[in-house]
Amino acid sequence: MTTKNLVILAAAAAVLGGAAYYTSKSGSVKTPSLVGKKVLPAFELADVARVEIGGEKKLALASSETGWKVESLYGYPADVTKIRENLLKLQDLKVGQMATGTKIEKPAAVELKNSAGKAIASLQLGGTHNAKPRGQMAQFGGGGYPDGRYMLFEGKAVLVKDALDAFDGDPKKWVDTRICKVTASDVTAVTYAKGGETVKLARKDGKWNLEGLGEKEELDTSKTYSLDSALSYLDLTGIADPKRTEAELGFATGAVYTATLKNGTTYTAKTGAANGADRWFKVSAAFKPTGTNATENAKLEKAAKEFNDTVGKWTYSIASYSADNFFKARKDLVKAKEEPKKEEAKPATPAPAPAAKPAPAPAKPAPVPAAKPAPAPAKPAPKIESKPVAVKPAPAPAPAAKPAPAPAAKPAPAPAAKPAPAPAAKPAAPAQAPKPEAKK
């Protein structure tokens, strides 16, 4: 074969290969995305007569002539409202996104069946998807919250936009967990009994009183907060097997609590032995007429019977902190009476005198002219003794007469005001002795 022929054959092979590749590519069909598809086929809620949930916690609910029951909870009544809400979530469930790379090794099966036991729809659920923490939750190291659920759909892992937590097998997600709804303000009397001790309290005019208080005792009102509300917000945590006796559950040595309402209804609650972190509990109702209204009495009697048929027939498990409200010893409610403090006698405070009207201001006096200082008194003159003057005797002279001494000048009394200093006064001149008369 010549070189020319080899070149021609190689070119032909290349053309045929290209045509084959083009044909295969054009004939392939791209698989459509599953995002947005409904997970379950259309079904009517009225057709669902049974719900079965597998996985670690198996749960079965069934419809009967007396209503929906939780078969895995000893036939305890299911909450129809919760059943409807949970089934509506499945009815509208759609694929949110593909979960490529996610493995669902042990999916929990959920099946919806009709009254004939035929499956209407089924699911294969994986684990929950948690949203990433944001804001303060991320700042302080908080975890995310469930916002979706992984599941198998048409053999592939997908993510739906609902956590579907009710399908994890917890029966409390399908029942009404509230045991009692007694209005606290309607309770007029309470009794606690345990181990031979009985404590009775009654409420009158809104004030609790304890029976049998001593002279030096009084009710500790800070401990009465739960006397009337023990049955107001009581929730179950589980249900006991009806086959177990009260003795097995510890009720023989437990506490008994009685609450009497103003309409004549009495509730009797019993607490039993511990159930892990919880405690066993039973409650029943009775009615004793307090009025003469026959219609009202019949209504209340019927309500007590219905309570016993629906609630009183079960033994519940309740939280320990709730069980503590159903027993209080006398020492827990009584304290020593506080003696009134003796106050020291205080002097009587005189009544304030009436305010006197201010006297009118005196008239402004006219200015007084400054008084002139009185002249300074003359200093007393010094005492001067007069000396006799020698006179030459005349013949037969008469005896000389003795001169009288000059009287001392008396000082004037000093004025009250201190005068300004005045110049000193000159002393008075001494008096001259009288000359003797010449003899004629």
Model confidence at 333, in pLDDT bands (50, 70, 90)?
very high
Q: State percent of the chain over pLDDT 70.
A: 68
Q: What pLDDT score was predicted for residue 26? A: 43
Residues 359-409 pLDDT 10s? 555 555 555 555 455 444 445 444 444 444 444 444 444 444 454 444 444
- Is the model more confident about 89 or about 350? 89
Mean pLDDT of the 239-264 span:
96
Q: How confident is the model at residue 56 (pLDDT cuts 50, 70, 90)?
A: confident
Q: Domains of the chain: which residue ranges? A: 45-173, 178-336
d(CA 149, CA 123): 12
Over its C-alpha atoms, the chain yields an Rg (Å, rounded) of 62
User: Which of 24 and 279 is assigned the larger pLDDT?
Assistant: 279
* pLDDT classification of 332: cutoffs 50, 70, 90: very high
Band of residue 14 on the pLDDT scale cut at 50, 70, 90? low
CA nearest neighbour of 378 among 412, 346, 404, 355 = 412
Most confident of 5-19, 33-47, 333-347: 33-47
pLDDT, residue 399, reads: 46
Terminal-to-terminal C-alpha distance of the chain = 227
Q: Is the pLDDT of residue 72 over 70?
A: yes
Contacts with 261 (C-beta within 8 Å, 6 or more apart), sequence order? 182, 186, 187, 188, 267
For residue 339, what pLDDT is reported?
76
Region 269-277: what's the mean pLDDT? 96
pLDDT tens for each residue of 187-208: 999 999 999 999 999 999 999 9
Lowest mean pLDDT among 65-69, 94-98, 129-133, 323-327: 129-133
Mean pLDDT value across residues 283-303? 95
pLDDT tens track for 144-166: 788 899 999 999 999 999 999 99
pLDDT tens for 98-112 read 998 899 988 999 999
Report which of residues 49 and 10 the model is more confident about: 49
> CA 114 from chain center: how many Å?
50
Question: What proportion of the chain, given as a percentage, has pLDDT over 90?
Answer: 59
Are 408 and 384 spatial neighbours (Cβ–Cβ below 8 Å)? no
